[in-house]
Structure 1
Amino acid sequence: MKAIIGGTLIALFFSAAGQAADVAAAPHGTKGDIIYGDPKADIEIIEYGSLTCAHCAHFANDILPAIKEKYLDTGKARLHYRNIIRDQVDLAISAVARCGDMEMTHKLTAAFFASQDKWIHLGSEAAMIDSLATVAAAAGMERTEFDRCAADADMRKGLVEMTQRGAQLYGVRQTPTVIVNGMVLPDYSAESIEAAIGLSLK
């Protein structure tokens, strides 16, 4: 797991707020929790994650599919994804991922995590953004839309505030952090999640 750097978050907050006068807010978008599964399911799983976090990509690509098949798709549980913003690239592409409806947000989030190993080591923010724009284009988003969404001040501000609330509500300091029915788990393994779900089902 990767710890969140407080100074970086402060810088991101002022960066997001400073753009408010210059960039128009997107007319639509997925704000708040990104929900997977039946929103009315009794068991609530919360994941605090970051799109630039390798452990979060591992969770999304290798652990979540089995949890989804066994618990989310069957209506036993729902998962609420909440962003923890770690850096400027994370802030930009998290805003991009949320620029459309929930279905498009699911699609882009999955695409960014699935391709993370191809763009995360490119070195510069500009190179990573260009690579991510190509990923988004394959999902149906043109570059002009990508750039507009990445710069949306309202969405960026909301993402920084979501990060702050995670720290305030659950003491989140690393990603991913997984919570099942209010219980913060010691790790994000499938075994820990299934054990917590099992307790909730009793």
Structure 2
Amino acid sequence: MIAISCLRGSMLRLGTRSIHHSILSRERGGASTDYRMTKIRLAFLSLLAIPAGLIAAPAANWLSRVAPSSIGGHVLGNPAASTKLVEYVSYTCSHCAHFVREASEPLRARYVKGGKVSVEVRNAVRDKYDLAAALLARCGGPGRFFGNHEALFANQDAWMEKLIAYDKDATKPAEEKAALRDIGQKTGLYALMAKRGFKPAQLDACINDPASMKQILAMTDEAWNKLRIGGTPAFTLNGTLVQGSDWTRLQAALP
């Protein structure tokens, strides 16, 4: 009420001539304002007249799109990509670690980001140590997978050194899940995952997850027994096995 009263009082103090002069001033200044507003409206209407197809939409960046596949792999990129690359890897494979170091960046930047190629990672487990790492890579769900996957390979030399010493120790748990947890705890795998923000209870749960175990074993069976890959890494493009296991040969096969 105070603000309204003040406004009303100031208007009442204006005489007739003062009010008339104020209105005329606004009318004179308004001519140029109206002209500018007309130009703005015309420019806006001209934009509306452009067909929607001629206005370039921002290019999609597919690097943040991760989804599980039906067999349990993890797909990075455009699910409708015309070229679908599947990588079969083993976490205890030094050639796989070399491939990931060499190929991940150019593969993502040149092929996945723009949506023409999707990349799916599947397991081709070779031993119990590889199985423990594969289970841990899945911790945190699809959104955490590729970070875990690359961290395991980037630190492979360190945890494999501890693994070799561990393998010589005869005192290991007999029960499967206990044995896998023991591997994680004593080879540096749990320590590595702890640096990525996972607590021991979470890591135990990942090792114990029956659904993850089933999917990893299904992918492993597909790799070794159905596709009959000769080793890791191995690749398929749209379902066809690629000859060769290095980035140079794979890149030559990409569109």
Query: TM-score, length-normalised on structure 1?
Result: 0.76
The one-character-per-residue Cα deviations of 1:144-196 (angstroms, maximum 9, x if unpaired) are 21122113233223211211122343212411101122332221322222221
Tell me by how many angstroms 1:85 deviates: 0.9
2:231 is matched with: 174
Matches within 5 A, 1:1-202: 32-122=72-162, 123=164, 124=166, 126=182, 129-130=185-186, 131-198=188-255
Which has a greater percent of helix? 2
Q: Is the 8 A contact 2:124 2:224 kept in 1?
A: no
The one-character-per-residue Cα deviations of 1:115-134 (angstroms, maximum 9, x if unpaired) are 10111122215566441111
Distance 1:115 1:64 in 2: 15
Moved more, 164-173 or 54-63: 164-173
Number of residues of Structure 1 aligned to a counterpart in Structure 2: 170
Distance 2:76 2:93 in 1: 20
Moved more, 180-189 or 107-116: 180-189
Highest relative contact order (Cα 8 Å, sep 6+), 1 or 2?
Answer: 1
Q: Is the 8 A contact 1:92 1:156 kept in 2?
A: no
Tell me by how many angstroms 1:136 deviates: 0.5
- Counterpart secondary structure, 1:46: strand
Which 5+ residue runs of structure 2 have no aligned equivalent?
A: 1-67, 168-181
Call closer, same or farther: CA 1:164–1:134 in 2, change over 3 Å: same
Larger Cα-atom Rg? 2
- Counterpart secondary structure, 2:198: coil
Q: Is the 8 A contact 2:232 2:245 kept in 1?
A: no
Q: Over the residues paired in the alignment, what is the CA RMSD in angstroms?
A: 2.0
Which 5+ residue runs of structure 1 have no aligned equivalent?
A: 1-29
Query: TM-score, length-normalised on structure 2?
Result: 0.61
Identity %: 29
Q: Is the 8 A contact 2:102 2:247 kept in 1?
A: no
Call closer, same or farther: CA 1:168–1:88 in 2, change over 3 Å: closer
- Counterpart secondary structure, 1:175: coil
